[in-house]
Amino acid sequence: MAADDKVVGRALGLFHHPQVTRPDSPPPEPGASDEGIAAFEERTGLTVPQELRRWRKICDGSLSGAFGTFGVAPPSADREIERYMTLHENWLFSAWIPIASDGLGDYYMVATATSREPEDVVFFVDVHEDPDVPTYVVGSDVWRFLVGYYSDELGERWWPFDEERMLVFEPEIVRSASVGNLPWEA
């Protein structure tokens, strides 16, 4: 399902906020090409979900948010999705795509069409607890995840644990609860 233009606009506005991207970060590079995304899909055997594809075409890895976002062919190897996919062998088998980190060794994953989880849902994996099980859902799609991820970086502190605020911003998240706990239940 395509994301609401208002949510996409908010995510992009937050992405360009000067406090979201690290001061020492180079300016955002152009997004991934169709060829770059296709090469990633060929190498991994995964199909990039439509909304993640849309985000990749705008930004293919950056030093924005808590630890930054990952890409399919970013200018910096430390932003490359495949580098993180190799950390835990079951991630590729589970058809999860790591798209960001919390900076403490845990990751945010996007479900693909071949995963058990609904496509495009974003969830948090606490690798210190169990790297093969979603800990809790953080977004019903990539764009809502980005709004929360970047809002948190600005110190707004509602995402993802403030149940009331989350349900106002993203009531769809309740339908994603089959993936794992809702954050306020974890």
Q: Are 66 and 152 in contact (CB under 8 A)?
A: yes
pLDDT value at residue 81 = 93
Q: Is the pTM of this model over 0.85?
A: yes
- Nearest alpha carbon to residue 62 among 53, 54, 51, 71: 71
Enumerate the domain spans of the chain. 5-185
What is the predicted pLDDT for the residue at 134?
A: 95
Residue 91 CB neighbours (<10 A): 21
CATH code at 5-185: 3.40.1580.10
Q: How much is the mean pLDDT over the chain? A: 89
